[in-house]
Every structure is written in C-alpha cells, then in structure tokens.
Structure 1
Amino acid sequence: MRPLLRFAVILLGSLLIAAATNFFLVPYKILDGGVIGIALILNYTSGINIGLAIVCCSLPIFLLAWLKERDIFYNSIIGLLASSLLIELLGPLQYYFLYYIEIGSISSAIIGGFLMGTGLGLMLRFKASTGGTDLLAKFMKRYIPLNVGVIIFLSDTLIIGAGGVLISKETFFHSILTIFSGGIATGLCTLDNK
C-alpha cells in the first residue's frame, strides 16, 4: 500500500476522532471506551488535557506493538500523535460548533460514537490505529474469533462501567450509546479485513 494513502487515511481517521471527542462527547461529559475513555475520565475529574492523557495511557500498548509488530507500531505512532494533536487543536472550536449546531445529548452520543468508530475503523483497515484498545483488539483478534468491533465494544463496556462510579446514570446511558454506535461503525469499516 502506498504510504501517502495510508498517511491520508490516518489523518482523516484522526480528524473524525478529534471532532467526535470535542464536538459531541465533551460538551455533555459523555465517555467513550478505550484509552480515549480513560483520558476523558481524567479530563472530567481533574482537568488533564485529553491529548496528553491519551499519549501517556497508550505507552504500555505501544510497548506491546513494538515487540509484536513493528509496522503497526510505526503507523500507530502517527495515528496516536495526529489524533492527540487534533483533539487539542479542535478543542477551542468547541464553543463555535455548539453555538451554531444544537443537538441533544442522545443524538450527540450516537453521532459522536459513530464518528469515533469510523475514524478508528478506517485506521485499523489500513493497518494503523491510535494505539489504544483498538490496537490491543487487533492483536487479540488473532487469538479470539471475534470481529475487532466486537472486541472493542466489550473492552469499552468495561471502561464505561469503571467510569460509571464518577458519572450520572444519564451520562452512563449516553456513554453506552456512544460505544454501541462506535462498535457498529468500527465493525462495518473492518468487515472482512484480515
């Protein structure tokens, strides 16, 4: 595969992830699963920058990628840095987006999850990721006969459950909608992808 095409897909996926995070999840304090979900929990509870938290939480998974498959490691480093940087760059635009586009929290959870899942799915399809649980799911798929989207959905549910202590029932429900729609989008993007 041509490196330029892969790089373009990684940037597109990162942009979708950043838009989903800043414009659909953060305004309603909705969680996503995976490393991004952990970063959102840290942001909501202590104000830590989401992009920085994603990079720090991804380090152990990147060590695994370095040991197991270097090609995915290199492509995922680009995805990790691009998505983390774009999340921080799009953050200040959140106000303008919310000013011009009004949608409810349920719609925001579904759209945000679908954008997030599409961004992750596109990267996985082109052998890249953001280095989070999506990369871990890609490795687990070798040993568990499940679609990558299903594996991500299950791990996301665990993280949402752990974060449930810190959020309201309404936010917990919205977060479940987010990971459900994200799992569907990721599954569709990675369908028949070996």
Structure 2
Amino acid sequence: MSKTIKEYIIIFLGTTIVAAGLAIFLIPSNLAVGGISGLAIVINSHFPQIPVGLTMTVMNVILLLIAFILIGRQFGARTIFASFTLSGTIWLMELILPIAGPPVENIFLNLFYGILMGAIGMAIVFYYNASTGGTDIIAKIINNFYQVDIGKSLLAADFLVIILAAFTFGIELGLFALLGIMINSFTIDYIIAGFNLKIQLTIITSKPEKIKSYINENIERGATIYKAEGAFTGQAKDVIITAMDKREFFALKSYIAEVDENAFVMVSHVKEVLGEGFSY
C-alpha cells in the first residue's frame, strides 16, 4: 500500500470521527460550535427541510475553489476528499440513523464529548495536510500566510458563526458554543503539538563510534559529534547530539544501555524539528 493511500485512509478515519461527534452530540443539541457545520445547523433550525449535510456540501464547494487557488493542489484535493466525507457521512447518518435528540440531557456533556471527538478528528486531518472544509480552510490559509497556530486561526474564523448561533438559539447556547470553540481550538493545537513532538538527545559516551553507527544505520538519523572534557575526571569525552521520534528514542535508549552503561544521556522534548528527515 502506497504512502498516499495510507494517508487518505487516516484522513477518512479522522473525518469520520468528526462526523460522529457532530451527528451524535452537537447537531441534536443545537450546538452550532462554529464552522460550516455550525452555520448549517443555524440554517437548518430556520429551514428544517434543508439537511445539514446538504448545506455543508454546497458551501464547501465554494471554499474548496479558494483552497486550490491559495494553498495548492495537494491540500485542495485532500480537503475535497475530507469535506465530502464529512458532509456525506453526516447526510447518511441523518437519512439512515436519524437521531431525534441528544444522547444525554446535560448540555455540557454533549458539548464536551462532541467537541472532543471533533478536535481529535480535525487534528488528525490537519496533520496530514488536509481540512474538513468550511472555516477550516480559512484557518489553514491564516496558518499558512501568517504562521498563526491552526487552533487559534480556527477560533478567529468561527467567531462570527457563534454570534449567529447566539441570536438563533439564545445567549445560553451561544455561550456554550463559544466555550466549545475555545476547547476545540486548544485541543487541536495540543494534539498537533503532540504529533510534532520530537526527542533531542545529548549523549556523553566513551563508545561514540558504535552509537553513531546505530543512529545512522539502524535508526537512519543524523547526529553531530564534538569533543568535550569531563569536569570531574578531566578525561576526554565525545558528545553526540541527535533528534528523533519517540519510538526511535526507545530503541536507541536500549542500545546505549547495552554498549555503554556509563554513558550520560540527557533527554529533552522538542516542539518541532526542521530539516531533512523531519520537515522534508
């Protein structure tokens, strides 16, 4: 299976999670928590004969054209796939498994779980250079051109929808929706930061060749080596600095314990690494 197909499968799964959160928790509760989906919920409340999924599909077509022009064909193609998966899944759920009301009476629980599912799914979709359409596209454009975090960009793009929701469903639901997009914003940024999180290692060792070879050949990462001197012993030491994923770190950690039990290793979490093997 090619890398592209795998990524599309993951995007599909992420989008399905978003759709489930909307269809099960948010739409039945009239929680228009921003985005095209929120705007579609507002329209549906005034015109019940217009399905939420259909409204989302029409509005997404317009924004997708903008995505192709401003962000590029790869993002545009993946966003088409994700947005039609989202609106199509919601539409099918409305037709096949119509939900008369929210699963629980507590509106905060419906908000929390609907937003949590949506944020997890959207973070997955954003990570693979796509979006679920709608105001997500606007957020991605802001992120690309102004380097603002995706979650914060989404918060700004969704604010107008929240105002409309407050006028339509009342101040209380509007405030719940505002709380929802704030939770959504910070959760997405937190999850994406977790996806991007790398491990930086500073290794002081007397077996630099073995460790360097393992990093280069087994883990297939680069490293930088420089000479140092132990302050207490005065002995010459080699210091290796490298960065890698968590899974690779655990493999290297085990190997270092085998070949040099006296090695001194400092481990740091790095928010992002740019360069060959990481950003391209």
- What is the TM-score of this pair, normalised by structure 1? 0.89
Which of 53, 78, 85 is 2:88 aligned to? 85
1:162 CA displacement: 2.7
Q: In 1, distance between residues paired with 2:20 and 2:38?
A: 15
Identity of aligned residues (%): 22
Q: What letter matches 1:2 in structure 2?
A: K
Distance 1:145 1:52, change over 3 A: same
Q: Does residue 70 of structure 1 match 2:94?
A: no
Alignment of 1:105-120 (within 5 A): 105-120=107-122
Q: In 2, distance between residues paired with 1:137 and 1:116?
A: 15
Which has more radius of gyration? Answer: 2
Q: In 2, distance between residues paired with 1:66 and 1:122?
A: 20
| Partner-residue secondary structure (3-state), 2:27 | helix
Name the structure 2 match of 1:139. Answer: 141
CA offsets per residue over residues 54-85 of structure 1, 9 Å max, x none? 11112222111222301011111110111111
Identify unmatched segments of 5+ residues in structure 1. none
Name the structure 1 match of 2:253. Answer: none
Q: Does residue 6 of structure 1 match 2:7?
A: yes
Q: Is the 8 A contact 1:23 1:94 kept in 2?
A: no
RMSD across aligned positions (CA): 2.1
Name the structure 2 match of 1:35. Answer: 36
1:38 CA displacement: 1.1
1:158 CA displacement: 2.1
Pick the structure with more helix per residue.
1
Q: What letter matches 1:80 in structure 2?
A: S
Q: In 2, distance between residues paired with 1:143 and 1:124?
A: 16
Alignment of 1:1-194 (within 5 A): 2-47=3-48, 48-68=50-70, 69-91=72-94, 92-93=96-97, 95=99, 101-102=103-104, 104-191=106-193, 192=196
1:94 CA displacement: 5.0
1:131 CA displacement: 1.7
Q: What letter matches 1:45 in structure 2?
A: H
1:175 CA displacement: 1.0
Q: In 2, distance between residues paired with 1:44 and 1:90?
A: 18
1:142 CA displacement: 2.5
Distance 1:94 1:109, change over 3 A: farther
Q: Is the 8 A contact 1:125 1:189 kept in 2?
A: no
- What is the TM-score of this pair, normalised by structure 2? 0.63
1:49 CA displacement: 1.0
CA offsets per residue over residues 142-163 of structure 1, 9 Å max, x none? 2323211011012212210133
Identify unmatched segments of 5+ residues in structure 2. 197-271, 273-278
Higher relative contact order (CA 8 A, sep 6+): 1
Q: In 1, distance between residues paired with 2:74 and 2:121?
A: 19
Q: What letter matches 2:97 in structure 1?
A: L
1:105 CA displacement: 0.6
Name the structure 1 match of 2:254. Answer: none
Q: In 2, distance between residues paired with 1:97 and 1:184?
A: 28
